[in-house]
Amino acid sequence: MTARIVPSVGSPLTRILPGQEDDAAPRILTGIAASPGLVMGPVYVHAPDDWLAADRAVAPGQAAAEHARLEAAIARTRQTIDDLRERLTAQDTDVTEGFIFQSHMSILDDPMFRDRVRKEILDNHRTADSAVTVFVRDITEAFLDLDDRYFQEKAADVQDVMRHLMYSLTEADDGADRSYDLDFDEPHIIVASELTPSDTVLLPKDKVLGLATERGGPLSHVAILANTLQLPAVVGLGSALMSLADGVIGILDGTRGVLTIDPTQEEIDAYGAQRQRREQFERTFDQLATEPGVTRDGTRIHLLTNLELADSHELAQGEAQAADGVGLYRTEYAYLASESLPTEDELYEKYCSILADARGRPVTFRTVDLGGEKVLPLLDAAPRAEGVENVRGLRLCLRYPEVWEAQLRALWRACAHGDARVMFPMVPGVAEFRAGKNAVTRAREQLERDGVPCADRLIIGAMIELPSAVTVADLLAEEADFLSIGTNDLIPYSLGLDRTYMDRTMVSEPYHPGVLRALKRVADEGALRDTPVTVCGEMAGDPFYVLPLIGMGVHRLSMSAASIPQIKRVIRSTTIQEARGVLGRLLELPTAEAVDYELHRHMLEHYAHLLVSHAAETGDAEHDG
Ligand code: PEP
Ligand code: MG
């Protein structure tokens, strides 16, 4: 299998690639390289209406039952609106606000609405969700066409009440496929203002050539997912992107971070030649798959994969690159893709199948990491979860134990069937880590009481993603069985940046001396106590960062499977002595720019022929591993 490579999400390399130009013309949009690859095809501007449904049919014999489902959902929505009104009354709110809910009720009771949706279901055999969606679209269009403020506000009211109705419908519709229904067959470059992790998961992969977003940074989850899915992606392309017309042809270069619209013949020819060179270079990776990650002076570096969806495609990629195991399985993706919290049995089966696929190699399950970018509408809507948006990761699970109870039981059960490890995300310090471990212990006690077979012991690690965790890395290294550094969060949390909105002016930030020293400190504390340290953020797949990382003693790197061959090739060409020398020089430098410059100078001087991003551009490739 041929890998498509060049990781280095947001790497400064993009600025020094030969031929890089900063064309201000709106036809050539420049953003941040988020996932490598080069594709050409029609553009589709995707504006997800989260709560609206795809157009789906129901079997004629099921139409009456579908209509009954709608009626039941309307009844539940009436109850919701009543509750909201009561809450307002209890707070002695302005009477006009209560009146709004009165008008919401009247929309639900409106004979025109009831009649329309009934016909859509019983006569046109649409699902209840599709029928409501058709109604919302038609009424909104009609009201907005009237160009009158009263009707525009009315349209907003209709949308509001219909959104409640749609939630009631989906509540009772567990496990339904929520994939976006894109109205074309040929794959397109998907253009969007922003893509949340759920949006990315819900896009049908066979219709996607690549992703281009107006906003977003190199560490955002859409960038990470695109790498995993091996989809070229460019983020932060700016507002001009959203004025593109559907169907216009684009060339998306995820390595350079450029989207060329309506390409000239010359640009199309250049695209063809460049694609050919890259493919030729990437073919040279195949022979590497059977070689281990060992430095020239004999130090074994474990190269592991990160999993998001853990579907057969992702697992096969890891297999093809002969990964040494799974260093990070982001278990929350199973939650994001589902309408309800997954059950213990569903999770147990999923985890068992991942362990079976790993065939004896270690798998690191990260407990569910929600909050921040990864929101779960389901959780937001839960009555007990007020303020849930203010906490993340381990804290969220400790505060709302119902989120991970089923997961902890499933892990105990599944971990009996393979070499499994568990780690907590966003660990602030020892108290929280211990509280997490206590929850894990309680889950086992419950299972034992219930007579359910499970593993004897769990290996439990702490993710180091917060500056506080770095400062107490000595204590965490004592308490935890292993540490895993999540640089995607550690970098923005350390430097006061927003992970989602890092832009092109910030590409040197991962090289900040503050970050470099933090990593070194964690590696040192781990080494002092014989606690293994892994890096599992995007940095682990950045060929420019390998030398400093192995130089500081990090011998476990976890990354998208596609990044493995290139990282392995650098490792097999260097020595620990060289890596330590480079690290030593970098640690003496005072600024991110200086570290960035020195590291790139060293790598391009000695390893340019190994880097896809360089060699594939110039044809200067090394053809044996
Ligand atoms: C990280 O923060 O580096 C990490 C691996 O976790 P995630 O990217 O899922 O937040
Ligand atoms: Mg993280």
Residue nearest to atom 4 of ligand 1 (CA): 486
Whether pLDDT at 101 is above 80: no
Does residue 164 share a domain with residue 195? no
Q: What is the whole-number distance in angstroms between the Cα of residue 306 and the centre of ligand 1? A: 10
- 3-state percent helix, strand, coil for the chain, nearest multiple of 5: 55, 15, 35
End residue of a domain, out of 247, 262, 283:
283
Choosing from 308, 366, 465, 499 the residue with most ligand 1 atoms within 8 A of its CB, the one to mutate for a pocket test is 465
Question: Rounded to the nearest whole angstrom, what is the distance from the C-alpha of residue 486 to the centroid of ligand 1?
Answer: 5
Domain carrying residue 259: 25-50+178-283
pLDDT tens column, 530-546? 999 999 999 999 999 99
For residue 526, the model assigns a pLDDT of 98
Is residue 354 included in any domain, yes or no?
no
What single letter denotes the amino acid at residue 625? G
Is there a single domain that holds both residue 232 and residue 279?
yes
Given 108, 136, 170, the domain boundary residue is 170
Using a 6 Å cutoff on CB, does residue 510 contact ligand 1?
no
185 and 43 housed in the same domain? yes
pLDDT for 196 beyond 70: no
Distance of CA 158 to the CA centre of its chain: 33
Residue 121 and residue 72 in one domain: yes
Q: Whose CA is nearest to atom 6 of ligand 1?
A: 486
Minimum CA distance residue for ligand 1 atom 3: 486
Residue 189 domain flag: yes
Per-residue model confidence (pLDDT) at position 167: 73
Atom 9 in ligand 1: residue holding the nearest Cα = 330
Which among 125, 221, 512, 600 is annotated as catalytic?
A: 221
Do 272 and 241 lie in one domain? The reply is yes
Between residues 625 and 110, the one the model is more confident about: 110
Kindly state the tokens that stand for 244: 């593109």
Domain's final residue, options 218, 250, 283? 283
Q: Is ligand 1 within 6 A of the CB of residue 488?
A: yes
pLDDT interval class at 91 (50, 70, 90): very low
Whether residue 46 is contained in a domain is answered as: yes
Indicate whether 160 belongs to any domain: yes
Which CATH number goes with the domain that contains 192? Answer: 3.50.30.10
Residues 159, 203 share a domain: no
**To test the ligand 1 pocket, which listed residue (489, 502, 509, 545) has its Cβ within 8 A of the most ligand atoms?**
489
Mutate to test the pocket of ligand 1, among 330, 394, 502 (most ligand atoms within 8 A of CB): 330
**For the CA atoms of the chain, what is the radius of gyration?**
26
- For residues 42 and 143, membership in a common domain is answered with no
Residue 241 CA to residue 9 CA, distance in Å, equals 21
Per mean pLDDT, which range of 139-143, 234-238, 440-444, 585-589 is the poorest? Answer: 139-143
Strand partners, 259: 29, 252
Q: Are residues 72 and 115 in the same domain?
A: yes
- Separation between Cα atoms, residue 619 and residue 152, nearest integer Å: 58
- Contact 371 CB / ligand 1 (< 6 Å): no
Same domain, 64 and 144: yes
Q: Is 486's C-beta closer than 6 angstroms to any atom of ligand 1? A: yes
Q: Average pLDDT, whole number, for the chain?
A: 84
For ligand 1, is residue 330 a contact (CB within 6 Å)?
yes
Tell me the per-residue pLDDT of 585-625, one tens digit each, with 9 for 90 and over: 999 999 999 999 999 999 999 998 888 766 656 555 554 33
What kind and span of H or E run contains 364?
Answer: strand 363-366
Q: What is the pLDDT of residue 314?
A: 82
Q: Would you say residue 270 lies in a domain?
A: yes
Q: Are the C-beta atoms of residues 411 and 422 closer than 8 Å to each other?
A: yes
Question: Is 188 in the active site?
Answer: no
Determine which one of 104, 536, 555, 600 is catalytic.
Answer: 536
**Percent over 70 (pLDDT), the chain:** 81
328 lines ligand 1 (CB under 6 A): yes
Ligand nearest to the CA of 221: 1
For residues 187 and 252, state if they share a domain.
yes
536 pocket-lining for ligand 1 (C-beta < 6 Å):
yes
The residue ranges of DSSP E strands in 206-360, in sequence order, are: 208-213, 233-235, 249-253, 258-261, 302-307, 326-330
Atom of ligand 1 nearest to the CA of 219: 8
Mean pLDDT, to the nearest integer, of 59-68? 88
Look at residue 105 and tell me if it is in a domain. yes
Same structural domain, 111 and 154 = yes
Instruction: Please report, for the chain, how many H helices and E strands are present, in that order.
Output: 25, 16
Q: Which ligand sits closest to the CA of 538?
A: 1
Residue 275 in domain? yes
User: Does the beta carbon of 566 sit less than 6 angstroms from any atom of ligand 1?
Assistant: no
Residue 155 Cβ < 6 Å to ligand 1: no
178 alpha carbon – ligand 1 mean position (Å): 25
Domain at 66, CATH number: 1.10.274.10
Atom of ligand 1 nearest to the CA of 328: 5
221 as an active site residue: the answer is: yes
- Between CA 438 and CA 95 the distance in angstroms is 48
Same domain, 166 and 137: yes
End-to-end CA distance of the chain: 15
298, 273 Cβ separation under 8 angstroms: no
* Number of domains making up the chain: 2
Whether residue 259 lies inside any domain: the answer is yes
- Res. 508 pLDDT band, cuts 50 70 90: confident
